[in-house]
Amino acid sequence: MKTTALVGFGDADSFYASAETVRRPFLVGLPVGVLGNQGACVIARNYPMKKYGVKVGEPIWEAKQKCPQGVYIKRDFRWYETLSRKMLAEVGRYSHRVEYYSIDEFFWEGSANRGQSYEQTAVDVRDHVKRATGLPMTVAFARTRTLAKLAADMAKPFGAVALTCPDQETDLLRRTPVTEIAGIAKRSAAKLEPHGIKTCLDLRQASGLLVRRLLTVVGHDIWRELNGVRAVPIRPSRSPHKMLARGGSLAGRVRDAHTLYGWLVRNIERLIEELQFHEVRASTLTVAVSYFDAESAAGVAHLSVPSDRFDILLDAAKRGLRTAWRQGKTATHMHLIASGLRRGPWQQSLFEPPDPKLDAVARVKRAVNERYGRWKLRSGATLYANDWYDDPANEHEVCDIRGKFCF
Amino acid sequence: MCTGIALASSELPVELTRLHRLTERVYDREGREEVQFHWWQVPTVLPVRRNGRLQILPWGTKYRRGPLPYGGWVSLDHVRDGLFTHATPDEVVIPANLGQHKGTWFLITEGIKGVAIETRGGPVVYMLTEPASNYYRNMTEQSPVMPVFVDQVI
Ligand SMILES: [Mg+2]
């Protein structure tokens, strides 16, 4: 298994209770329960209190019966946020791409410290965060977010682990029930059980189509992640992309409008893939064409509503190409640039007609490509560029190396 | 209300512990020693920080017929309205790490405000109270009053 780039994941152990202990050393070692807004329910408790069977969400009058020696504290989110940002900053010393996933969970583009293994790096991150913030954190490295989170959950508290070989993954997945996966609730687990899927390993080994049928796209993404495919990217909290672009050389000189149109469609498909990877939608689309025997030209199309949908983007791209098109001239390069990127949650617009049918087609297309390889199912319009697609060397190109700008 | 407090043993000077036989009040909470002061204990006392000195003082009175207000608590409003016009109330701090009411132990960051009253038998301390916040009520099985905390809002 290649271990060059693993996903890092850090999750503070019983964060609220630990945060209180950081500023009140008196609490070290004592069972601590943090009470919610109204002072009636335990919203978080540390490991010593957990030992007494106190559960999150439990009313205080029940909790204090189970744990009469427990200390109950009013929550203070301002303080928790201060510590949360401190953790984010400390994790940021290890990676430039850190996702602020929740108040006490962070994903990052991982790399092993120079001269250290991933296991040693995990220990280093954990110990550093403890030194710098006083907070205990469990740190895990694995091929995908889902794997890293599962590894961390099983290593708590104050764990430091790395899944660097297939056996470690298999071992972890075998002893972890599917319900341990965030996003697979009891109801989903009940759907899986008749198919003999109980552990995460069962799920990983199941057919992707079956998983999709049972648990929709979300479940399918989890299935891919269990199989080591990164379905959900790291989304750094700062500086999201200002624009995303796809395109490049037209693999020769193109004078024919149909062929150019074929390239346009191909670039839209790749651009959509990229938009969806980053979970953004474009509000502006620019089509730029370079000519062998004329000045480069560009056409800009504004979308009434940010979108990542094929039909809407194609419509906009056609308008852009109309402006950039020089009849009788020889085109050599084409770039499609999406800008005005917006991240969800999406406001359902009056102008973007909800079209479940088109959305469904897009999902199926994505699924087939995921299962049978990139571009196996693509828009019929790209047939004009068929010989290009037939070259396997073109499957992965330089701008597909994510995180860098296309040009 | 608050019927008991706990203070880490390490916060009490050894001679004070010996003088007032506080070792009988030492409790073990998950391996950690603390001294507890409860209203039901006899003698009924509280630690008090007064003029920069830590002392152990009698906590209110359980005699109904004396000149002092019955109980261990007085409301801030009553004190302001002149409850102790005949005596000179002295504002003090009751240092505590934890407070307790109806079996709920809650964290105290600095302490509880109190008043010390001079009597012929020496000073006596009362806890100051105010109407309980909704939060405090829920936490303590609907206690209608809560102690006046030092720089702490519950
Ligand atoms: Mg956590």
Strand B26-29 relative to strand A342-343, pairing: unpaired
Let me know if residue B42 belongs to a domain: yes
Decide if A72 and B105 are in contact by the 8 Å CB cutoff: yes
- Range in A150-164, A248-262, A352-366 with the lowest mean pLDDT: A352-366
Q: Do B134 and A72 touch (CB under 8 A)?
A: no
* Correct CATH for A15-79 of 3.40.1170.60, 3.40.50.150, 3.40.50.300, 1.10.645.10: 3.40.1170.60
Q: Are B127 and B73 in contact (CB under 8 A)?
A: yes
Task: Locate all alpha helices (DSSP H) within B1-154, ordered by sequence.
Answer: 14-19, 76-80, 134-139
Asked if the structure places residue B43 within a domain, the reply is yes
- pLDDT at residue A370 in the model: 58
The CA distance from B148 to B114, in Å, is 8
**Which runs of E-coded beta strand occur in A59-126?**
71-74, 98-102, 105-109
For A187-204, b where at least 16 C-beta lie within 10 A, e where not — what string?
A: ebbeebeeeebebbbbbb
> What pLDDT, on a 0 to 100 scale, did the predictor assign at position A164?
93
Quote the pLDDT of residue A394: 44
Residues 6+ apart with CB under 8 A from A232: A144, A145, A146, A221, A225
Cβ-Cβ contacts under 8 Å between A and B: the total is 57
In total, how many domains does chain B have? 1
Q: B153 lies in a domain?
A: no
Which residue shows structure tokens 């702490």? B152
Write down the domain spans for chain A. 15-79, 80-226, 243-400
**Residues less than 5 Å from ion ligand 1, measured at CB:** A 11-12, 15, 104
Check if A15-79 and A243-400 are the same fold.
no
CA A5–ligand 1 middle distance (angstroms): 24
Q: Does A372 or B27 have the greater pLDDT score?
A: B27
Each residue's pLDDT tens digit, A260-279: 999 999 999 999 988 887 77
CB contact under 8 Å between A48 and B30, yes or no, is yes
Residue A73 has pLDDT above 90, yes or no: yes
A290-299, B25-34, B77-86: least confident range: B77-86
Q: What is the C-alpha separation between A181 and A126, in angstroms, rounded? A: 23
Query: What is the predicted ipTM?
Result: 0.92
Cβ distance B139 to A35 less than 8 Å, yes or no, reads: yes
Contact at CB, A74 and B154, closer than 8 angstroms: yes
Query: In the CATH scheme, what architecture does the domain A80-226 have?
Result: 2-Layer Sandwich (3.30)
CB nearest to A31's CB, from B8, B30, B138: B30
Homologous superfamily of domain range A243-400 = DNA polymerase, Y-family, little finger domain (3.30.1490.100)
Query: What is the Å distance from ligand 1's center to A75 Cα?
Result: 15
Q: What is the pLDDT of residues A78-119, one digit of tens each?
A: 899 889 989 998 998 999 889 988 889 999 999 999 999 999
Q: Contacts by A187-196 with C-beta closer than 8 Å and gap 24+?
A: A188/A214, A188/A215, A188/A219, A191/A215
Cβ burial B83-93 (10 Å sphere, 16+ → b, else e): bbeebebbebb
How close does chain A come to B7, measured CA to CA in Å?
Answer: 10
User: What is the domain range of residue B141?
Assistant: 4-147
- B62 vs B98: CA distance, rounded Å: 23
In a domain, B152, yes or no: no
Domain annotation covers residue B154:
no
